Amino acid sequence: MNLRVEKLSFGYGRMIVGNDVSFTLNAGEVLCLLGPNGAGKTTLFKTILGLVPPLGGTVMADGAAIHQWSRQSLARVFGYVPQAQLGFFPFTIREVVLMGRTARIGLFGTPSARDGEIADDLLRLLNIDNLADRPYTDVSGGERQLALIARALAQEPQVLVMDEPTASLDFGNQVRVLSEIKTLAKRGIAVILSTHDPDQAFVCAQRVAILHRGRLAYAGPPEDVITAAILRAVYGVEVEIVKVESAVGDRHLICLPSFAKARSG
């Protein structure tokens, strides 16, 4: 699935959050969206998903504008991992994951045994099978986050949109989720994720875009976008990009913030 976003303007009613956002994303690619708090990353995602009507521009999937698609067709193509919220009713984690199957269940249907197997596989994949019967309302924020990732994967999406998927995860689960994102991409899923950690972009993304002051200010391969100059311009902090090599030979770029200069802005 090839996703093309063209000159997208987004916001709520008369309040424009962002303008003129264009990018393409091919099957198997991971695009990492960075941007300061309040830059509009979540609104952009919701607009791409058709949850918020666009104020201008189009979103095309394989060359077809998605605005006329039914909710069901959209949900079969786009999986969505929203930022984890407190649930309202105490559905079990397994039931929450099963809800991801809704777009593949008939209007009057309920999840089949096959849907149950898919949900159980995903619970195991994300290491939360031991929580299957626990109420969603009673588990920790990180556990809810993992359940939402499982739910989005249950949609069997071709494009996966993840809003800060690692925000409330512990260190081990962050690594696990990032490596799962790489695996999904290898299987041909296009992934867009937002994050506040530029290091994650080096790890899992082929491309990075930075949403700043309502525009996609920078876009390109991680090495070109995540630079000391750009991070200074966007976040107002001094950063050094360092190349590190582990004992087993993994090479990584990481951002080392300079705390002495950050204070002066």
Partner 1 sequence: MTQVPDRSVKPVARRSSARYFALAVAALALLLVISFSVGRYPVSANELLRLLWFKVSGTPSGLPETVETVVFKVRGPRVLASMMVGGALAVSGAVYQGLFRNPLVSPDILGVSSGAALGAVLGIYFSLGVFGIQALAFAGGLAAVAAVYLIGALLRHHDPILTLVLAGVVIGTLLGSVVGLIKYLADPYNQLPAITFWLLGSLTGITAADLWAILPAIFFGLVPLYLLRWRMNVLTLGDEEAQALGVDARRLRLVVVAAATLMTAAAVSVSGIIGWIGLLIPHFARLLVGPDFARLLPAVVLLGAGYLLGVDTLARTISTIEVPLGVLTAFIGTPFFIWVLAVSHKGWR
Binding residues for partner 1 (CB under 8 A) = 13, 46, 49-51, 70-72, 74-76, 78, 80, 82, 87-92, 95, 99-100, 102-103, 105, 107-111, 127-128, 130-131, 133-135, 137-138, 142-143, 146, 151, 155, 170, 172-173
Cβ closer to partner 1: 119 or 231? 119
Cβ closer to partner 1: 111 or 222? 111
Strands 251-257 and 239-245: antiparallel
Cβ closer to partner 1: 2 or 127? 127
CB of 54 to partner 1, least distance (A): 15
Cβ closer to partner 1: 2 or 42? 42
CB of 56 to partner 1, least distance (A): 17
| Planar angle of CA 86, 87, 91, nearest 5 degrees | 150
Cα–Cα separations (whole angstroms), residue 154 to 36, 42, 103? 30, 21, 10
Q: Report the alpha-carbon distance of residue 77 to residue 92 in Å, rounded.
A: 25
CB of 236 to partner 1, least distance (A): 32
CB of 257 to partner 1, least distance (A): 28
CB of 140 to partner 1, least distance (A): 9
Taking phi over 0 as left and psi of -120 to 50 as alpha, with beta for the rest, 21 belongs to beta
Cβ closer to partner 1: 89 or 259? 89
CB of 224 to partner 1, least distance (A): 32
Q: Report the alpha-carbon distance of residue 142 to residue 170 in Å, rounded.
A: 7
CB of 252 to partner 1, least distance (A): 24
Cβ closer to partner 1: 14 or 251? 14
Q: Report the alpha-carbon distance of residue 208 to residue 215 in Å, rounded.
A: 14
CB of 164 to partner 1, least distance (A): 16
Cβ closer to partner 1: 176 or 215? 176
Cα–Cα separations (whole angstroms), residue 200 to 45, 193, 238? 19, 10, 18
Cβ–Cβ < 8 Å for 36, 198: no
| Planar angle of CA 182, 188, 194, nearest 5 degrees | 50
Cβ closer to partner 1: 102 or 227? 102
